[in-house]
Each structure stands twice: as C-alpha cells, then as structure tokens.
Amino acid sequence: MEFSDQPPLGKMAQLKEWVHGHPRKTLIIVGAVLVSLALGGAAYAWMATTPSALDDTPIAVKPKPKYYSPLTGSLVKSETATTKPVTAIMIENSPDARPQSGLKQAEVVYEAIAEGGITRFLALYQQNKPKLIGPVRSVRLYYVDWLAPYNASVVHVGGSARALALVRGGNYRDLDQFFNPSYYWRASDRYAPHNVYTNFKKLDALNKAKGYKTSNPKKMLRDDVAKPKKLTAKSVSINISSDSYNPRYVYSKKTGLYKRYLGGVKHNDREKGQITAKVVVAMRVNMKSVFEDGYRESIDTISSGKATVFQNGTAYNVKWQKVRRGAQIKFTTKSGKTFALARGTTWISAVPNDGGSVSWR
C-alpha cells in the first residue's frame, strides 16, 4: 500500500481513507490475511503434536518384557512358559539301564546313591518334552526333598516306605506307575526291572487328567555370568561311590558346556548323544544307612554344607543351604552373598562327606 498521494494525515486516518476508496482491494487483502491466519494456526497445532525434525530428544520406547525359565534361568518365549507344569522323573543308572533315554533334555538333574553304591537320577523337565524317557525306577525320601520346591509331578515306580508315605500323603502330585499303568510300558529289548518307559505325550495327558495344569517352582538364583580369562576347571572328577558310577566332566571352550563321562566312557543319551551341562555342582552331604522297609540310604537334605560349582571352565567354592523341605537350595559365597549360577542345564551331584571327593584341573 502507498500513501504518498494523500494529504499528510495520521496513519490510521490514511488507512481508513484508503479502505473507503478501494473496497474491492480491501476484501481481497482481508481474505488473504484470514487464510494466512488459518494456515498458520493449523501448522502450529500440527507442530505442537508432532515431533520436530530438529528435535533430537530421544523418544522413550517401552522395552519388550523378557521371561526366564524358573529351572534353568534361560530365556523362554512367554510368561505362560514359566508356569507350565514341572515333571520330576526318577531315572535308573545301573549299567543295565544305560544308555538312558531323555536325560540329555533334562533341565535340572540331581544325582545321588540310591542303594548299594548305585546312583540314580532325579530329572526335572518343564520346557523340554522328550519323546522317550527311562528306565523309570523307584523314589527315595531325599529325592522328594529336592523336588518339593519345584511344585512338580513325581514320576516313579514305587519307592521306599518313607518316600511313598510322603508322596501319597496328599501334598504331592503323585504319578506312580503302580496306580497309572496305562501311561507307562515295559520295553521288550530290556529285562525287568530295567525296562519301564514313558514319554511326555502320556505324561502331559496324565498331568492334565489329574488337573496339574501349572507349576509355581521356586528358583535358584541365575544370571548372565561372564566367562573368565583364565580357566581353572577344564576337567572335573567327582567320586560318589565307585568307578562305574563316578562322573567326569570335560569343558568345551567352543560350546561353553561340560561334556559328561560315566564309568570311563561318554555318558550318552540313547537318542540324543553325549550328555552335557552348563553348570555342574558337587554338593557335599552327610549320608548314612537307616532301616525302613529294609536298609535304605539317608541323606541330610535339610541342612547345609560345602559345595563346588563348575561353570564356564572355572571352579567356585561355595556353601549350600536348604532350610526346609519346601525351600529351594541356596548357594552363598564365603562372605554370605548369594551365588548366581549361570543360565542353562544344571547337574547336581550329592557327594558323601564320608568317602566322596571332588577334584579338578
């Protein structure tokens, strides 16, 4: 707009006079101003709700939740996987029972003398479902003590008097073959009593039929344990009873796992090959013979003692403690701090204080 051809009036007076003389131009200008204001308002609203390309403030992203197996501490796909039913299976270890089936897929295994120096396994499963498991044998009281905190179903063929009284007392999920024979079978290529087998197709059906749809297992502390620069335990020997039953472990730096040997040879799962473990625990225990329905072995499980943990090719001297039957075993350092096991398959051997030993190099 130009005002040079008008008398020297004040600015507002000049504007009023110009508007009065140019009504058409005034409408055009006012319209343009209104459009500009509308566009500017929309742009402001958009900028108020949209991150600016010049704004380098990081946008908070909610992390995806992670779920871990309560048995091994390994990652699982969903929260539902952490509450699937846990199944504890008694598996024989006499020479006539070897090679066993399903042991390599066990997530936690307890190894102890059952009778006459012959060891037996308590194998626990939650995520893994072997297609063949056995030979299944009888249960002892101390195995019940170890399985109690896992809220597990108990798979066995009979047992010692005290163990059966406890398992059949109504507080445990008893899947005894004596009362559920259709969920087990006897293999024709082995002779009794070393030939009772089952699988998870049958065990899942049996758990479901009895209403055992979930478990709430108590956990051992697990963590992402860094591999040390120096390996102190590449070979581990555990003396439980005699050469036929004493395990040995050899560490593989490539896989980070211990390969298991038994009786001087590879300890193989018949279907899956040599058994391995991420963590090996040698737990020193007091053991004695007691009379029940005959003489039986007895292990002080509700107690404490020394233990050596082997993981990532390294040995750690710790203390184990179990304060009651339903409590999980806890490992602590010399200073009393809870010791974290590495994530993965774990084998725990009960080594008698009287006559047992553990060595490594």
Q: Is the separation of the CB atoms in 35 and 27 below 8 Å?
A: no
- From the list 74, 131, 112, 96, the residue with the least C-alpha distance to 279 is 74
pTM, entire model: 0.84
Considering the segment(s) 65-361 as one domain, its CATH architecture is 3-Layer(bba) Sandwich (3.50)
Q: What are phi and psi of 234, to 5 degrees?
A: -85, -20
- From the list 328, 312, 247, 252, the residue with the least C-alpha distance to 279 is 312
Q: Which two tokens stand for residue 158?
A: 């009979």
Summarised one tens digit per residue, pLDDT across range 88-136 is 999 999 999 999 999 999 999 999 999 999 999 999 999 999 999 999 9
Asked if residue 314 has pLDDT above 50, the reply is yes
58 vs 24 pLDDT, higher one = 58
- From the list 229, 355, 195, the residue with the least C-alpha distance to 286 is 355
Summarised one tens digit per residue, pLDDT across range 2-12 is 333 333 444 44
- Rounded to whole angstroms, the maximal C-alpha distance in the chain is 130
- From the list 191, 211, 3, 177, the residue with the least C-alpha distance to 90 is 177
* pLDDT over 70, % of the chain: 84
Q: How far apart are the first and last CA of the chain?
A: 97
- Per-residue pLDDT, averaged over 311-335, amounts to 98
CA distance 336 to 64: 34
Asked if residue 26 has pLDDT above 70, the reply is no
Q: Which two tokens stand for residue 222?
A: 């697990």
Q: Tokens 């539902």 sit at which residue? A: 80
CA distance 308 to 280: 8
- Per-residue pLDDT, averaged over 217-242, amounts to 96
Asked if residue 357 has pLDDT above 90, the reply is yes
What does the pLDDT read at residue 46? 45
- From the list 259, 271, 268, 275, the residue with the least C-alpha distance to 98 is 268
The rounded mean pLDDT for the chain is: 89
- From the list 252, 283, 273, 254, the residue with the least C-alpha distance to 113 is 283
Q: Tokens 């929309």 sit at which residue? A: 42
Cα atoms in the 13 Å half-sphere on the side-chain side of 166:
17
What does the pLDDT read at residue 22? 54
- From the list 164, 192, 188, the residue with the least C-alpha distance to 178 is 164
Q: Minimum mean pLDDT among 6-20, 257-271, 299-313: which range?
A: 6-20
* CB neighbourhood size of 132 (10 A): 16
Task: Categorize the per-residue pLDDT at 21 as very low, low, confident or very high, splitting at 50, 70 and 90.
Answer: low
What does the pLDDT read at residue 9? 40
- Per-residue pLDDT, averaged over 321-330, amounts to 98
What does the pLDDT read at residue 294? 87
Domain ranges of the chain: 11-49, 65-361
| Burial (CB count <10 Å: 0-12, 13-18, 19+), residue 219 | middle
* pLDDT over 90, % of the chain: 80
- Per-residue pLDDT, averaged over 247-252, amounts to 98
Summarised one tens digit per residue, pLDDT across range 150-196 is 999 999 999 999 999 999 999 999 999 999 999 999 999 999 999 99
| Residue partners of 230: CB distance under 8 A and separation at least 6 | 314
